[in-house]
Structure 1
């Protein structure tokens, strides 16, 4: 099957969307999102990018964020809108919108649109923002929970096309022997493009649920695996 966007492929692979799809464990955080909830967040972000920011398939968005459930929602929203994800360090950025956390504000003073993501459990507001930045919740929450994609540009992640991203994700899932419906516990990073494809999209495009634990949280992985009924642990 040919998918128009990376997010279309993730949603197509998701079985029962009422079940958990992404569970995030961070310092003092546990946030579980069903397939429907993650889809709704992605739709809000995609609608903002198209309807308010005015981006069209092929435009670029810079995602300057650590691993987090909100980061996953941002990525899926960007891809669903047919846009190209750029990451920090990419040369000659063409991004018209930047998503960053508070620590990234000073790195993005020239962004046309800078959306600051709180990275808290409930997606709350970011206080005391400079005038050139907007709050993630205020920016995306008013937009609709449903999105109708209009195709994708030539690149989805850096210089990789949708087809190349999905092919690499499938290869990663095959290496890890991931199957639809599996519950996968992982501490593997997904900040670089290669990590994002293998460690985030690998499980999601295989139809597996991802339980991601931030190594900085110093959590008991065996205890989490038992609590979450994990089938596999990727270390």
Structure 2
């Protein structure tokens, strides 16, 4: 069974071009298809080879919208894993420094810095792992060994692909576009429509955190986007 990540990568016509651009408070980070693929590979290799997860297992992703969150999702899907339900902590949890206490049952707590360069998180307790230290040593190529039944809670891989493409069609997203969006992607339905919709359609996504208060028209002009979804 093909993974969602394989489908996203297959839709990229030029891996050197920006695929995901993130605008956050005091941040602008642009990742080419190749760079995002490398991060996803490192995460997938960690989850399979170090954490020992098997296709069909789940991972908790307790993160806001960010380029690192997208990399985590693509990494776990590539390893044939699914996203755990909201109230169901999996063995491995990716979260932020301020939410560590929300996951007392996790075997592996990985703290994601949400900074522009994936740097280290200072002053972590002994029971938590740093995102950069944990995933960066792993290889930036990945060879999948199986697929998950459910990529998101209640959503099979095939259902996600169909729904994402339907959402993209409804929004007028087509291959080759650069799409500027402020739409959230934290819930399963939001991830399907607002993150995977553009990516599975072969479009590049420029995501702007509404908290920045950015002038979307100005961002659209700077990024040369074709469509604004807000």
What TM-score comes out, normalization by structure 2 length? 0.98
Q: Deviations over 1:137-164 (max 9, x none)?
A: 0000000000001121211111211101
| Aligned counterpart for 1:13 among listed residues 11, 14, 21 | 11
Q: Does 1:132 align with 2:132?
A: no
| Aligned counterpart for 2:218 among listed residues 215, 223, 226 | 223
Q: Provide structure 2 residue ranges, at least 5 long, that are not aligned to the other structure.
A: none
Residues of 2 paired with 1:17 and 1:82: CA distance? 22
Q: SS where residue 23 of structure 2 aligns?
A: strand
The Cα of 1:96 is off from its aligned counterpart by: 1.2
Q: Deviations over 1:87-146 (max 9, x none)?
A: 5x34xx261100001121110122110000000001000011111100000000000000
**How is 1:127-206 mapped onto 2 (pairs within 5 angstroms)?**
127-206=122-201
What TM-score comes out, normalization by structure 1 length? 0.96
Counterpart for residue 69 of structure 1: 67
Q: Does 1:49 align with 2:47?
A: yes
Residues of 1 paired with 2:89 and 2:27: CA distance? 34
Q: Provide structure 1 residue ranges, at least 5 long, that are not aligned to the other structure.
A: none
Moved over 2 A (4+): none
RMSD value, Cα: 0.9
| Aligned counterpart for 1:117 among listed residues 99, 112, 116 | 112
